[in-house]
């Protein structure tokens, strides 16, 4: 008679090896862009800083800085993008901006004011004494939104007499 043998098997559930989780990677770069490099009066620019790691998970801060004044204009503590909308200014030289995260500094972005131009026209170039001449001055930007910071002045260069000051248009 054949002898049966029973084999005994035991099963053990396999568990993944225990590994220490590594800390989140710190940002390795920061980049700054603008949607406008030149601002006409009443326009604004949007500055956007981008990095490759979520600053919330690394306890980092993305900052957008006005290098010209030294002021930090915006700080972001979450995500990989920090956006500053409505950057504008009426006067002065171009402004330089950078973004920072940890010890990294982005490329510089320059935003400048659009230069003013004014054209002066006359309705006639030949006229007799006592005749009226219509002079029209036209600016490439609206001086009316500057709260008096800018105006158009028509003056007689020979006498120095101001003929008209326009604070709008």
What is the tens place of the pLDDT at every residue in 99-112? 999 999 999 999 99
* % of the chain at pLDDT higher than 90: 62
pLDDT digits (tens, 9 = 90+) for 73-107: 999 999 999 999 988 877 789 999 999 999 999 99
Cα 167 to Cα 150: distance, rounded to the nearest angstrom: 7
The mean per-residue pLDDT over the stretch 154-162 comes to 93
Cα 97 to Cα 65: distance, rounded to the nearest angstrom: 6
At residue 2 the predicted structure's pLDDT band, cuts being 50, 70 and 90, is: low
Question: pTM above the 0.85 mark?
Answer: no
């Amino acid at each position: 008679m054949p002898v049966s043998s029973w084999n005994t098997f035991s099963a053990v559930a396999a568990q993944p090896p225990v590994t220490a989780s590594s800390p989140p990677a710190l940002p390795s770069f920061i980049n700054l862009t603008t949607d406008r490099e030149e601002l006409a009066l009443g326009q604004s620019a949007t500055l956007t800083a981008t990095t490759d790691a979520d600053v919330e998970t690394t306890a980092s801060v993305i900052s957008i800085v006005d290098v010209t004044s030294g002021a930090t204009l915006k700080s972001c503590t979450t995500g990989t993008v920090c956006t500053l909308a409505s950057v504008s200014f009426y006067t002065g030289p171009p402004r330089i901006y950078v973004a920072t995260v940890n010890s990294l500094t982005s490329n510089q972005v320059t935003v400048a004011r659009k230069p003013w131009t004014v054209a002066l026209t006359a309705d006639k170039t030949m006229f007799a004494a006592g005749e009226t001449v219509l002079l029209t001055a036209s600016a490439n930007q609206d001086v009316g939104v500057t709260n008096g910071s800018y105006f158009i002045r028509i003056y007689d260069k020979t006498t120095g007499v101001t003929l008209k000051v326009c604070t709008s248009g």
